[in-house]
Structure 1
Amino acid sequence: MELMLSDELLGMFLPIVVYWIYSGLYAIVGKFDSLDEYRLHPRGEEAKNVVSKATVVKGVLVQQAFQVIVALALFTIVKDDGQAAKKVQPSYLAILSQLMISMFVLDTWQYFLHRYMHISKFLYKHIHSKHHTLVVPYAFGALYSHPLEGLILDTIGGAMSFLASGMNPRTGIFFFSFATIKTVDDHCGLWLPGNLFHIFFGNNSAYHDIHHQLYGGKYNFAQPFFVMWDKILGTHMPYTLEKRKEGGLEARPLKD
């Protein structure tokens, strides 16, 4: 029982700890002048954001409070009378299969809801536009959104992927922590050399930066892992990374 509770508690709180540690690291390295050549936006462009960083922190904490509540309910549903500690953990192949299923479910859920929030003028104005007040994304603003959007898109989407894959709480710890790191990285505003997310995922900080710009609101809805739905349904906007005259990089859309 103690082991099971440990897995459950880690599954609820570790992704939150990971979020603030990883985004905090980006906040620190983002102050280094030596990294200016890897910025997707010049320092001064953060003035385009119409919401303060203090407000962003409060908004993220609200979403994470909902996240804990849903996680508690989720792990209550999947617990099995204290026998989890005695059960043999699934094989690595089974875990890999569960992770792939959970990624597919989460990507599918988020793509269609995210896209609909842009199509619906009402939903965009009253809900999704809050996330887009960060025209120039930064790491700890990754989860900043309307509480209802955070609950439906991220928290419930994560719960659905967890249940659909059949993973146990221990595997869930790794999945949700990884998904958290990936989401933070997609909003970091940096294109650092050697970043594994840029190497293995087409959906990355530059790809998502396109979506946050005024010309990209009808493209690149996919998140957080793959770009398959954008490519299948014609909302994929390819881009090129070019050096700015004033320094840094710029993700520019490629015209057909």
Structure 2
Amino acid sequence: MDAFAAEELQATFVPIVVYWLYAGLYTLAESSERYRLHTRKEQEAKDLVRRKDVVIGVLLQQAIQSVVALATLRLAKEDNTAAEKPKRTFPTVMTQLLIAMVVMDTWQYFVHRLMHINRFLYKHFHSKHHAIIVPYAVGAMYNHPVEGFFMDTIGGALSFLVSGMSPLAGTFFFSFTMKTVDDHCGMRLPWNPLQALFMNNSAYHDIHHQHYGSKFNFSQPFFVSWDRIMRTYMPCSRETKKKSP
């Protein structure tokens, strides 16, 4: 196996491992009510889908993504075969990652918003994700396969190709997009760096999953820029919700 092939496999499967490890940690933390945005009773009463079905749905989504990821990485290799291999300097890699983040945010904002505006798309596709009204980490990638393909899989492929990053940089980027696990964790942790550094965090995205906020906070997974530009921004309290008496 050549070095590129090894990096292809790494970029495809490491993010999946990161997803389940990170989601697993949050699943263990759910037993505590202290930092939950909603109580366990509220979650059990509101959510419309069983966790077993959520896990199966996420595994299906990841299987589809893996096939597309391998095809995209192979395409990138063929396009760069005759070209001189670019140097992986720190400024170059950071620039590529920033470009990928902007592309991902732009693609997902407008596809996500379309899924809400168009009644047909919402009813037949996006409503599956919103069956989880009280978000939790494992359900971050629970989507209809068609929606998952167009919003997440194609968004990731475009981010990778447009930015021109290497498979190694892609491993980091796609692992970092697992921030969506954090955004759906349903917990507000004061010591969590992702929740402190990014306004697009668990409290921000939780608003979108509630009925009163379903037309707001479409941005994901990194910034809130498009929500501000398109006037779909709804602020959230940055204070941790305390345990109910």
| CA RMSD across the alignment | 1.9
Aligned length: 242
2:40 counterpart residue number: 43
- Residue identity opposite 2:65 in structure 1: Q
Q: What are the within-5 Å matches in structure 2 for residues 119-158 of structure 1?
A: 119-158=117-156
**By how many angstroms is 1:200 displaced?**
1.2
Deviation of 1:89 after TM superposition, in Å, equals 4.0
Tell me whether 1:95 sits opposite 2:96 in the alignment: no
SS in 1 for 2:34: helix
Change (3 A) 1:137 1:245: closer
**Aligned match of 1:212:** 209
SS at match of 1:189: coil
Say which of 195, 200, 203 aligns to 1:203.
200
Question: Counterparts of 1:1-256 in structure 2 under 5 Å?
Answer: 2-31=2-31, 33=32, 36-47=33-44, 48-80=46-78, 87=85, 89-180=87-178, 182-240=179-237, 241=239, 243=241, 246-247=244-245
Determine helix, strand or coil for the equivalent of 1:116.
Answer: helix
Q: Would you say the 8 A contact 1:103–1:225 is kept in 2? A: yes
CA distance in 1, matches of 2:127, 2:205: 15
Q: Is the 8 A contact 1:4 1:82 kept in 2?
A: no
Q: Deviations over 1:161-187 (max 9, x none)?
A: 10010101111000001111x110000
Distance 1:87 1:163 in 2: 15
Distance in 2 (CA, whole Å) between partners of 1:16 and 1:245 is: 32
Determine the C-alpha separation between the residues in 2 that align with 1:150 and 1:22: 20
* Whole-angstrom distance in 2 between the partners of 1:222 and 1:82: 32
Query: Which sections of structure 1, spanning at least 5 residues, go unmatched?
Result: 248-256
Answer whether contact 1:49 1:134 (CA < 8 A) is retained: yes
Deviation at 1:80, TM superposition (A): 4.8
SS of the residue aligned with 2:200? coil
Give TM-score scaled by structure 2 length: 0.94
Q: Describe the SS at the equivalent of 2:191.
A: coil
Q: Using a 3 Å threshold, how does the CA distance of structure 1 residues 79 and 239 change in structure 2: closer, same or farther?
A: same
**1:56-108 deviations in whole A, cap 9, x for unaligned?**
00000110010011011101101159979x95641100001000000000000
SS at match of 1:40: coil
TM-score, length basis structure 1:
0.90
